[in-house]
Structure formats: structure tokens, C-alpha cells
Structure 1
């Protein structure tokens, strides 16, 4: 007999019912489950339990062939135990209608009662256990009599157990309805076996346990369904291999073959709707909506509900919604029953149903991708709309798939050029070679200069990405020559787009094009097109490292007459980039804040991510590490994998974490960040440098050098070797110093100083000087570091100032200038403490101790425990400014203000803003004038001590 596993609750319920019946408190139990879940085995166990208690067992197993034979089930139960006189009660062939009010006869109540009395006489000799299997196929008279009996069990020695198959296709009979309607009758619904239960089940069947992983594989294959596990066990036994030696690979093949044979037989024991629903789920892979499943399978909603319930109970589908096959083997077995043409028809029907049910274009399009094209216009429209949505997310690979499929439908001839154009633009980043072909096809025969102006820059970018930059320049020149003087605005936009296209792969080619076409001449910034061109020139000048003053000049002209509602967002983004790397941090912060506030939600996610990352970098340099981390994490959440600015965004998070002392988090992010670049985009260089900082912090110097070598190659190949962007030589110099190679270190640092002086921004020069100062000793180191500190004192880059002052203090102490060293180190410690940058704070503190000073420990509570930034924010809040106004005044985010105020309230032991004025007055912190605060320079939060950003 099939072993009983994980049926303890069911057996306990059966034992209770039998015990109650045999003690004179007759009752009934209903067992409901789909085919193959062990109902018959439970009834067999009930029979064994009854016989152990010396009860008489009366059994019936109904079948469809006897469903119309009057009294067929009752005869199975009672025939062997009735006298000749009692048999006369079952004579006659009158059919009795189900109790639904139909005309044509009434139940023979007198005969029902006589049979009941006969049964009572039998029960007086010995308690009775009536066991009815597959009751869904019982004839009407038998069902009605058993229902009649169930209502009269109280006080008699009779127990009734009825098993019925759910979703069998047979209508629900009066017997099941009667048992369900009586709450005192328990209902048992045996479930599929668990993984552990499957292992025990197969061990009992095979006589020996399988390996743990092999048993788990069998469980996944059969879904815990006992009938399917029987087929698997039989197939495993036929291999002749001892169960403990059966490998996973061998078991996988056995399960595949066994289920391909057994699963169709199991489904055929249910109603056709169950097989139809299973096939529909297989065709769609995943169904989240019951009406969709019903429409796809071609069945009504109640039948669909019964079908999925049966499939869930059988272990063939997980409990849903959504519904999907539990594993690949079941999918394969179900798919084998339907040819590909049938599956295609089901998917097409489902796509139409989704459209009718109001589903989104992406959901419909994903299903259409799995169907055969048929050229219907609505399909092309849905695929087109799905591509548009994917482009906004952005998800270029999905957009490309939808557009390629829309073209394969095929579309109407008038619709084809538009789809080709969109496909070509989408493929510029993914498959530039294919983009060239599609864009050229779209331009064939097109005379409209506006269309050419819109598409040629994308074609030029694709050409540049395939190594044909000269061809791209010639194409742009040709188009520029066709644009008349009366359409200068289009020409300015074309020039701007051309510069950006060439910057992507070959920045110096952009330089050459600008020079020979006189693009930069007489551009006043009086129109959106001119301002976009100026911003592009500012970005080009920045990436190629030519001159900070020139780049900032272009940026100023681009922003001077900016009208946010008319301007492309890239105008401000590129101008802000130039200002940031020219060390115009306050101006860059204003620009980014405007960008983040000007209908930011309308911008594509990649641009929003870039804006936030730029603002994070500015906050970092100005010493607001809390804002830097918050903004960069928000930016990272917006940057999907593969998006061109994602490496840049990731780098901002890593740098903020390192300078806050969260090195483990930084290392985790390094491990999970992308490991290989796409093209020559500059953002990869920034990420390589950030990963190098992480390795350097953990003393993995050779690994750090490998990352910096990759950074150097990226910048060299891209043609944008500007230390303001990534000072990789300074960082490499410090790593080489750690490794004892002082000569290489100094060569790198001096080579970078040449480039930084050519660029000309003070922070960039100070970074190179600081590196050289750290490589030097004695008075030379003091002189160089003093020059670096003097440059930084005049900038908002307080973060860099804190590190430079720490280096200078150590150099002064090394040359026995203790008094000066203490003064400098106290300033460095104040900056470090105010910022919360733990590594630098510790370094400055111990350096100050080494000079003989005794700096007081930071207080943890009270007014004197407030950092400088906390004091300023608290003073402004006490003066009546709200959080947003404080954030605007101090060029920080609102979240940063809230963060600091929370710490203020804790340190001052107050409940909130209402008590702030009193607490500050008691501590004698001066109330600040908001206007004066706007003029104040934000203080910095210094970074980790030994690396360069």
C-alpha cells in the first residue's frame, strides 16, 4: 500500500470520527482533494483503523460508468450485508431527479427510511464504517440516500467517510452539498507533500533513502504530488541502481520521463477545464489575473477558479495569484501536450484579452514578443507605445526588442519610417553598427531638413562609436552647410549635438571640428540653441582639460539668460559640470539646485540621476558629507544598470562612505558595482578611481594600482585627461610612495602639477601641491603644503582644506615648529569634528597630541557638544526659519537639515524646535542673522586621510 506521509492531521480526524461513531455518536467526514493526492489511501487507512476496533467496514468506489445506474453506490455498500427481503428495497429503476425543484418525480422517502432502518439493524451487531470513494461519480439515488443518512447519524453507531475529487467535471451532488452544509462534519483537504515529506515517501517506496539533493530534485519535479511521486518512484526502481547511489543527473532524466507519461494521465482524471487552465498557464508562463486565465483557456470564470484550485491542491501550481508552473519539468510535461501552434494561439488570445482588460502596453508587448507576427495594426501600436515607455524608464534593450518586433509584424508602409527612426536612435548605445543601417534607411528619400537635423546627430554618434569619427564629422559638416542663415537656431543645436556626439568617443575630434568650423565665434547666448552650444563648449573644454577660466566663461554665458521652461535640461547640467570642475562650487550648487527644482519629475531618470550625483559631489567638496551620501544614494536608486552615468553615481556613494569612515559599506559597493566599461565614457574613470581609494584604504596597494591603471587607460583612450575630473596621478603617487617607489611617485605628481596649472583651478592645483608636499620632507614639504592650504582657504572646498591642514600640521611638527603645528592642527581638528569624518578626525587628534597639546575630548551632550554646522542650523531654526529655508541658505538638502536638527535635540535634551531658543540662550550660542548666514561659507566635513579625490 502507498505509504502515508505528512497525513497526521487527517488520520487524527478520521480516528476521531470513527471513534465517535463507534461510541454511538455517529458523524461524518468529507475528504476533498484533486486526483493523485491520496484520498483513497486515507480511506484505506480508515478501513484498517475501523477493523482494529472490530467495526464492520462497508465500502463503495464510484465510477462514471455507473453514475446513471440507480442505487449503484448503495449496492456496493450494502449488497453483501442485506437479506433477500432487504434487497427488494433496491429493486426498480426509477431515476430520481436531484433536489433542485425540477419536475418529474420525488425522492422515495419511504424506501430511504427502510434502508436506514436496515442499516441500524446492522449497526446493532457491530459498529459500522461507511467509506465512499470518488463520490463525485455516485448516482443520484445513492447520493440522496447518503445525504438522508448523514442527517440521521446522531445517536447511532455509524461513521460515514466520503472522498470526492475536486474539479472532476461532474456537477456537485447533493451528498457533498449536505456534508459541506453541516459545520459539525470535518472537511479534510490533504495537501502536496513538503520536501522532507517527499524524501520520506520515496524512501518508503524504494526501501532506501535517496541522497538529500536527489530527493529535493524529485520534490521540485513532482511538486509533492503523491501520484506523480509514485510514478517517479516506480521509474527510479526500474533503473536497478541502489537509491543512495542515484545521482542528481540520473534522477533528473528519470523524473522528466516519468512525468511526461504520468502528468497527462493525472490531468485527464479532472475536468477538461483543468487541463485547459494548466495549458494556458504554461503558454503564458505566469498569470496574475483570473479573468485573463479564463479568457485564454476558453472556459468560464467559475470553471477557471475550480481549475486553479485543483492545480494548486495537486502541487502543480503554487498558491496564487500569480500562477505559474512550479518547475521546468512540469512546464515541459504540460507543453508536450500542446503543439507550438496551440500555444501561439493561446498567447495571441491572451494578448487580446489583456488589451480588452485595459492592461498596460508593456505587459501586452511582452506577451506579443512570444507570438507569431500577424500584421494587425493594434499590435504595432501597442509595441510602439511599449517602446516609448521603455525609453522613458530607461530600458534600451526592451525598447529595441519592441521596435524590432513592431517592424516584423509588419507595420503599414506609412508607419515604417517612424519605427525605423526610433529603432535606430535606440540602438546607438546598444548596437551602433545596426543603428547606422536603420538611420540611413530612415533618411533615404527624406527631403525635410528638419528631419535630417533631428536624425543626423544620432547617425553621427553611431558612426563615431563604430570608429568612423571622420565620416561622422563629414556628415555633420554637410548638414550644417544645408541649413540656411534664416535657421541659425537649428544650426546652433546641430553644432551642440555634434560636439556632444564627438565628446562621447573622441573629444579631440570635437576640438578639431569646433576649430575648423568656427563654431565658437560670436555666440552670445541669446537663444536656447546658442546656450546649449555654449554649454557643450564648456563641457568640451572641461573634459579636454584646456582652461578652467574658458570653461567657466562658456558656462556663465550659457546660464546668463537661461529660461528654465524653454531650455534643454542638458544646458544647465553641462554648464554646472564646468563650474564644478573650475572650482566655482557655490555657483555650481545654485545651478544644480535650480535643476533639481525645475520640474525635476518631468526629466528622464538618467538625467535626474546625473543632477543628483553632481549635487552630491558639490556637497562633498563643500564639506556636507551627510547630504553627499543621501543625494548620491538617491541618484544611484535612479540609475539603472547599464545607464551611462551609473558608474559616476556609484563613485559618489563610495567616496562619501570612505570619508565618513564607512569603509565596509564602500567595499561592498565596490564588489557589486560594474566591472567593465561600455565605450569610452568618462564616468568609468571616476568609478575606477573610487574603487582604487577603497583598495588603498584597506592597504591593498597593488590592487589599487591596477584600478588606477585602468582609470589612466580610460582617460587616455577617451581623450579627456583632466586632473580636475580625476586626479589619478596624485593618487597613484601616494600608492607608489607606500610601496617605496619614491621616484615614480614624484614623477607622477610633478606631471600632474603641469596639467593642473594648465587647467588653472585653485582646488585642482592644491590637490597636486598637497601630493608633492606629502612626498617631500623638511622645509620643502612645509612650503609646498602651505601653498596648497593658501589656495584652498580662498575656495569653498573646505573638505580638501581639512586634509591639507592636517598634512601641513604634521610637516610643521616634523620640522620642530610645534607652536605653528598646534595652531594648524587645531583648525584641522575643528573641521574634522564638525564634519563627522571619523578617520580624519582621529588622525588630526593624534597628530595634535604628538605636538604636546592636550585637546579636549568632544562632549556628547549640551550646547558645547554641538558641531559648528549644528550650531548654525540650530541658530537659524531658533530664529524662525523653516527647514527648507535653512537648506536653501546653507546650500544643503532639507534631509541634511532634519538630520542635524535631530542630533541637536538629542544633545540639548529637548523635545523640539519650541525649546530651541531657550536652550541656545542658556548655552550662550549667538543667534544668527539669516542674511549673514547666506554670506557665510559652508564648513567642510573632511575625508579619509591618505587618498586623493
Structure 2
């Protein structure tokens, strides 16, 4: 696998030797890199080419055995000569003599002559290939003899290929340097990633996936020996081997033995230092003083041992010490006892702490030790250690680190540690964690701490619910916050936690009736700000000191409730904006507050503003409990849907469903129901009706639904699903139920963006035309109140679709003109598609094709598969009636390459120029053009003026076609 370049160089040396005499070639590399395999491959290939080969292998004991290599050479040459010849007898005698214990250190001159004669005989037809593996272990006498052999054979074609172990030459006899003077060098490195994949394919039962091969290459740096050992582990652990991340857990003792064992024999400190580096480089690298301190080796000895490891290419030659092979690091640390690793990690953390290293470096080592940290660690270090432990799923260790941090911290650091401690405690044991958080709240002396602790408590209570332990917690909190600016928090939480259980108008009234909500400080007095509860007062009732603490969260929730029921959304938008302008901690007092305010902006056509606020404030959801994350993901998905970003909405909604699964939400949880309904609706828009049906069935939303106005998104998705399947009675029943639930809850008829996109069209489709037109007019009034180009364009499109005739065309053209001025192609594609369908009905097929073609292109660009399919079907039917020379079916039948070449020809390029530009042959151009002409039913370039007079066909033909230059 690989090494072709080195093999070619060695064969080139054979060719050179036939002209210039002996050639010396040296192969080096790290342990296990394949020096011996390369020499063996070279010898085999040389024999196939007719060369005689002699393979010599040096062993560690040979360095102290005089002329050991000479005996091997004599025996090998004798085996290549004809039996009974004088030279063969002389060489066999020398071999036998040099095997005796009293062998002379210096071979006699007669032996040298016999070797020379043998070489002359063996090189009569092809070069002699002499390989010496591990030459740095040869004795001085043998090396000197080899040098004389090379000198004697100066007129013969001989290739002396020698392998050296990196790091060994300084310990080898001086004669080795003389033998290899001016020799060609080949330093082997690891295999490439492609070569690694090829090697694994030959040794594993099944070829590895691309990601798995890349992980193996990274772990081994392409070292063939390490790859072989790792492949063996993968065969023994087939299930773990499927996951690249699980390879990180492979601990192979044989790897440590081979890779560092020889270094330990040369320098006893080297192997110890390698293990120290393996532990110390947890954060990526270690430095020399740290390694010296941990290993107990004085600095000079450390540098000498590190020099050996660097020359052996086990450690990078840099001040930041790192083992080159992660698999070796696993082997070294895995071979240590748990206590030895703990001691090394804690010692490393202490060393880094003394030198004021980055906190994350210190924290990594504290977490790597299973012994809880003790002593005067900085709170920031302990907090980072806790974060790393939580990321690894070790909440118990995170709890120990944070408790120590709370004991040692002060000021802002103490607050952060206390909040994180509350988070972890609640995560481990919700009931005990809530009790601990309330106790911390009782000890808090400032509003910032109280605000953030109440945010944690509210997050946890949304998972527990208001009954049972949840109510007891609220009672305890009420006692703790009495007399503070938060004294109305328990009542606000109780109201907001029932947001989806009551009609929104009732929830808004309850929020407005809370006595602890004064007017906001800027003088603006939304209804939720009044102390009298009338919604129109000036807020002059009794206000406790600091009572404004709850106002941002209450205003956001109130804005959402009013938006759900008011026909004019402007007041709700103003309230949402005011709430979003407050500090995130104020909104965090109630988990629904932030997503509620964002939803109001998004649904009222303020997409860009909502997206900017989500980016600014949404980061606060990271690391927080799942209900808050789910609600924020739903809000961001609504923003994406309002902007027409179907792929982004699908991704966000899928993530929201994952978070509901993590927290074990019940099937009728409002957040889960909303996520299912919105995702099903998005899948339908993308053209994946089977996926939408499977989603609804998986979450048991296809049968009879429980009471609750928040099921409207599911009912809308179901109605669209039935209509797409041709079951209009079922679609009509779901639409009727959707409308009835909305009226019962007092909801605004124009509903959500999803309803305003599809609801009126569905009502018209199931035969409720009068109701559809009435709702279309209401939607237009709502859109004018929002002052949003998106909403007005959407409403004009819906009204134009149900109006028909000249009035419908006027409304649709106005919608197209308006939607062309806003970002996002989704609504524009709908408007153009509806316009094209209307123009078809008005028997104006040429204009219809132009509009429908543009709609199809825009729908495909934004991932609206259902719209694209519907428009293309309309295109095909319209095309049959259009007075044109080339049919749309012919254009759609063209392959992408045929389209490209046809467009080049229509732009005036010759066949020769097209071939040069596209880097294909002229014959290929001619074949593609002939095929295109046949599909289009034209004779050639002369028919181009007639063929594409229809602008719709030209747009479709050139959509996405690169221009030739």
C-alpha cells in the first residue's frame, strides 16, 4: 500500500549501478513505518527482474558479536553459487568459522577475495541487490568489511540497500557513517489517508466507511503497524468499530511496547517521558519543564531523552510537546493504573495553576482525574471543570466542582457558580434541586441574584407542573420574595404556566390583574402594565418597591395573548418590542416570555427584526432546560417559515422535537403538539407528504384530538394532507374543527402565517367559497394593519386567488409587484403560480407559461417541492394549448449537459468553441446537439429564432445553466 515512489527510486538505483558501479541507499523511518517491508518488496521485485538478492538482518546482540554480519553474508553468497566450486567452499568455510565463539574480529583477506569473486559471478546478467535491515545494530567489524566489499566491487553493479532505525545512528559504530557516506536517503512517513483506506479494505472483513478510514488515519498518523493493530481491535470489537468516535477508546498494549520499548532500552527515561507527555497533553500539548517535573527527571536528562523521542519521530520537534500518534497516547495512558493517572492529572493541574495557564487547560486535568479536587483552586477553573464534566455526562463530578467553587468564590464569580450549581442540582434531582435553589434565593441579597435564581426555578417548575411538589415550591418562593420587587412572581408563574389551558383573552386578563406590575419607566402603558386590571388605566395603583422586575416577562406574555385575539396587531407588536428591549434576565423570569415576544414579531411580518432579536437574545438558551430550548426553537422556526425558509424551518422543528423527547414530554404537551403540527406542515410544503403522514401517525395526531386551541397547527397540516390525497370531505371536517376551536377560544380568524398561506385556498377547495372570500378580506385588513409588505403581498395573493377574473389578475399582479421588493422567494413563487393558473383559465397560455416557469424556478430554489410539482404540472397542461413551435415537454426532456450545449449554440458559439470551453471533444458536442434537436423537433441552428420565442421556455432552459466564456 503506497511506497511506489520509494520502490521506483530503488529500481532507478539498480539502473544507475549498471553504469556507475555500487550504489548505496538508506531507508529510515519511525518504528512500525514499514522499512523492512519496503526492503522485502524491493528484493522480490528485483528477483522478478533477474537480479540475485542477498538479505541480511541485524539483531540487537550483533553489536557485541564480532563479524556476525560477515558470517550471514558469506552463507548467503554461498547459497547463490554452484555447489562444489572453490568460491562456494571458501564462503561456507568462512560462515562456519564465524559462527564459533572464538571467531576473529577481523575477517581474513582470502574471504574478501572470495566475496568479490562471488559478486562478480552474480552480477554477470543483472545487478546484485544486497539488503541490510537494521544496520545500526551491526558490529563494527562487519560494517568495516562491508565497506571493503563495496570498494572491491567498484566495477560491478551492486545496490546496497540499508535500513536504519531512527534515533539509533548516534549509538551505532562509527564505521556505519563511513559505509553510508554520500548514500541516497529515503525517509518513510505514514501512509496517506487514501492509502490507509486501501490497507484497511484488505485487512477488514468489510471495507471501512470514509469517516472511519479518516479516523483511523488520524489516530495512527498512517503508521502501517499501528493500522494493523487497530484493524485487529476492530475485528474483535465489530460494534464499537462502526462508530469513529469509539475508536478513541481503543487501548492496545502492544502499541506501547513496540513504539516506546526500544526508546526505553536506549534511554531508561525516554519511555517514562512518553507516558508523562501522554497524560500532560490532555489539552493538546505539554512543555519541557512540566514533563521534567512530572517524570522526576532533571532537566538535562529530560532534554536528552526528548531528543531521542524526537529523532524516533514519536514526539513532535517543538517546544509544545505532543505525541504524533493518538493511538500511542491511548496505549500509554491505558497502561497506567487509575491512581497513577489521577496523580499525573492533578500534578499537571497544579503546575498549570501555578503558572496561571488558561483556565480551560487546568479544568481539563481536574476533570480527567476521578479524585475530587481539593484546595484553593480559582472559582473560574472549577466552573470550567464542571462544564467539562457536564459535557461528558458526569453531573456528579460537576456538582462537586461547583460546590467547591461556591465556597471559594466571591462577587460575580460567586453568583455564576451558585447559578450553575442550582442548574446541576436540579438536573440531578429536580425536587432536591428546587429546594436548594429556593434556599439560595432566601440567602440572596441583591436583585440580580434573585432574578436569575427565579429564572432557574421557573425552568424547573415547567417540568414539574403546578401540582404537588410544584405548588409547595411556589408557596415557599412566595414567602421568600414577599416584600421584594418579585413578590408577584409566584402568581405570574401560575398564570403563565396555564397559558395553553385557557382562552388567551382570559390569560391576558389574569396577567393584567396582577397588582405588582407598574407602568414601564418609558411612559408607555400597555394593558398588561396597569395596576387596576382594566387594560386602559394609568397604572397608579399600589406598587411595591422594585415592582417593575416582573414587567418585561408579563408584557411579553400579554402581547402574545393579545396578538392571538386582536384583529389589529400593532399594539401587540409595540408591547413585544418593549419587552425585547429589556434585559434578558427580566425575560428569563418566565420561560415562555422570550419566544412569545419573538413569535409576535415574526407572525406580524417583522421577520428581520425578530431574527435579529433571536440572534441577540437566543444565545441565553444554551445550557438551559429543555422546555426553554424547545420554545425558542419553535419561535425561530416560525421566523424561518414567515420568511419562506423551509429547509431552515424543517431543521429547527426537528431539533425542537428532539428536545421534547429528551425531557420526556407527554403526547399532548403544547410545545410538542405545536412542533409536530408545524413540522408536518413544512414537510407538506417541501413535497414530502408520506413523511408528514408518518410524523402525525408516530405522535398519534391522526385520530380524534383532545380539547385545546393549540391543536390548530395539527388540524391545518391534516387538512392539507387529506386535500393532497384527494380526500376533500376529511379535509373539510378538519377545517371545520379548526375554525370551531378558534372561535371557542376567541382567536383571531386570520390565524398564523401557515393559515394565511394555505387556509383560504383550502376552504375554497373543499367548497366553502363564501367563507373563503370573507376570510380573504379579513386577512387583507389584518395585513394592512401590520404595515408589512410580506403580509400585504400574501393577503393580495390569497384574495386574488379566490376572486378570479380580471379582478383576480389585478390583485395577483399587485401581489407579485409587492413581493418582488422583499427578501425570500417563497411567497413570490406562490403568487406567480396562482397568477399562471389564472392566466391559463383566462386562455392566455403564453403569459401563463412565463409566469409558471418563473414560479417553478423560485419554488425549487427555496425547497418548496409541493409548489414546484404543482406548478410544473400546470406548465405541462398549459403548454399543450400554447401557440409555440417547441413544446415544453421537449425542453423538460433535455439532459443538463444537452441544455448547457444548446444554450451555448443559441448564444452563437461554434461547435469548436463549445468543445474548447466545455473541455470535451467536438464529436461530443455534435452528438449532444443532435439529441437536443431531436427532442425539440427542430432541424438545427436555423430554427432557433422560432423555437424559443416563448419567454417561459427560455427561462426554463437557462435556469442554472453556466455561461460558457
Question: For the superposition of Structure 1 and Structure 2, which TM-score range results when normalised by the shorter chain?
Answer: 0.5 to 0.7
2:784 is equivalent to residue 793 of structure 1: yes
Q: In the TM superposition, what are the counterparts of 1:668-683 in structure 2 within 5 Å? A: 674-675=657-658, 677=660, 678=663
Change in Cα spacing, 1:114 to 1:838, as seen in structure 2 (3 Å) is: farther
For structure 1, the 5+ residue unaligned runs are: 96-107, 203-208, 237-242, 315-319, 542-546, 861-866, 868-949
Aligned to 1:67: 63
SS of equivalent to 1:186: strand
2:398 is equivalent to residue 403 of structure 1: yes
Structure-2 separation of matches of 1:481 and 1:511: 29
2:135 is equivalent to residue 135 of structure 1: yes
2:682 is equivalent to residue 694 of structure 1: yes
Structure-1 separation of matches of 2:754 and 2:648: 28
Deviations 1:764-808 (A, max 9, x none): 999999599746645555445434433443332554444444444
- Segment of structure 1 superposing worse, 831-840 or 136-145: 136-145
Once the 2 structures are TM-superposed, how far is the Cα of residue 838 of structure 1 from its aligned partner? 3.5
Contact 2:359 2:381 in 1 (8 A): yes
SS of equivalent to 1:377: coil
Structure-2 separation of matches of 1:769 and 1:262: 68
Q: 1:424 aligns with which of 418, 422, 425?
A: 422
Q: 1:271 aligns with which of 263, 277, 289?
A: 263
Contact 1:136 1:165 in 2 (8 A): yes
2:18 is equivalent to residue 26 of structure 1: no
Contact 2:602 2:638 in 1 (8 A): no
SS of equivalent to 2:132: strand
Q: 2:433 aligns with which of 432, 435, 440?
A: 435
Contact 2:144 2:175 in 1 (8 A): yes
Contact 1:625 1:656 in 2 (8 A): yes
Structure-2 separation of matches of 1:57 and 1:702: 72
2:831 is equivalent to residue 841 of structure 1: yes
Contact 2:435 2:473 in 1 (8 A): no
2:734 is equivalent to residue 751 of structure 1: no
Change in Cα spacing, 1:483 to 1:646, as seen in structure 2 (3 Å) is: closer
TM-score by length of 2: 0.59
Once the 2 structures are TM-superposed, how far is the Cα of residue 638 of structure 1 from its aligned partner? 8.9
Aligned to 2:13: 17
Structure-2 separation of matches of 1:364 and 1:94: 61
Change in Cα spacing, 1:341 to 1:43, as seen in structure 2 (3 Å) is: same
2:289 is equivalent to residue 289 of structure 1: no
Change in Cα spacing, 1:431 to 1:706, as seen in structure 2 (3 Å) is: farther
Once the 2 structures are TM-superposed, how far is the Cα of residue 23 of structure 1 from its aligned partner? 3.7
Structure-2 separation of matches of 1:846 and 1:730: 25
Deviations 1:610-669 (A, max 9, x none): 9799668736643x7688789879998997597655545555665566667665665566
Structure-2 separation of matches of 1:201 and 1:412: 58
For structure 2, the 5+ residue unaligned runs are: 76-89, 852-857, 859-965
Structure-2 separation of matches of 1:286 and 1:389: 16
SS of equivalent to 1:31: strand
Once the 2 structures are TM-superposed, how far is the Cα of residue 6 of structure 1 from its aligned partner? 4.5
Change in Cα spacing, 1:650 to 1:796, as seen in structure 2 (3 Å) is: same
Contact 1:26 1:158 in 2 (8 A): yes
- Segment of structure 1 superposing worse, 113-122 or 304-313: 113-122
Change in Cα spacing, 1:666 to 1:442, as seen in structure 2 (3 Å) is: closer
SS of equivalent to 2:284: coil
- Segment of structure 1 superposing worse, 758-767 or 802-811: 758-767
Structure-1 separation of matches of 2:228 and 2:733: 76
Once the 2 structures are TM-superposed, how far is the Cα of residue 190 of structure 1 from its aligned partner? 6.5
Once the 2 structures are TM-superposed, how far is the Cα of residue 364 of structure 1 from its aligned partner? 3.5
TM-score by length of 1: 0.60
Aligned to 1:874: none
Once the 2 structures are TM-superposed, how far is the Cα of residue 271 of structure 1 from its aligned partner? 0.9
SS of equivalent to 1:688: helix
Aligned residues: 777
Contact 2:22 2:156 in 1 (8 A): yes
Deviations 1:268-298 (A, max 9, x none): 6521277557656776896632538956777
Contact 1:661 1:839 in 2 (8 A): no
Aligned to 1:341: 339
Structure-2 separation of matches of 1:321 and 1:766: 60
Structure-2 separation of matches of 1:448 and 1:410: 19
Q: 1:493 aligns with which of 457, 461, 486?
A: 486
Contact 1:387 1:400 in 2 (8 A): no
Change in Cα spacing, 1:169 to 1:271, as seen in structure 2 (3 Å) is: farther
Structure-2 separation of matches of 1:447 and 1:646: 27
2:514 is equivalent to residue 520 of structure 1: yes
Deviations 1:52-71 (A, max 9, x none): 89988777544443435676
Once the 2 structures are TM-superposed, how far is the Cα of residue 749 of structure 1 from its aligned partner? 0.4
SS of equivalent to 1:525: coil
Structure-2 separation of matches of 1:596 and 1:162: 75
Once the 2 structures are TM-superposed, how far is the Cα of residue 579 of structure 1 from its aligned partner? 7.8
SS of equivalent to 1:520: coil
Contact 1:281 1:287 in 2 (8 A): no
Q: In the TM superposition, what are the counterparts of 1:131-530 in structure 2 within 5 Å? A: 131-139=131-139, 159-167=159-167, 171=171, 174=174, 182=182, 185-189=184-188, 191=190, 194=195, 198=199, 262-263=254-255, 266-267=258-259, 269-272=261-264, 276=272, 279=275, 288-289=284-285, 291=287, 294=291, 300=302, 303-304=305-306, 307=309, 325-326=326-327, 337-352=335-350, 355=353, 360-373=358-371, 375-378=373-376, 381=379, 383-386=381-384, 400=395, 403-406=398-401, 422-428=420-426, 431-439=429-437, 455=453, 458-459=456-457, 462=460, 465-467=463-465, 469=467, 472=470, 476=474, 480=478, 491-496=484-489, 499-500=492-493, 503-504=496-497, 520-521=514-515, 523-525=517-519
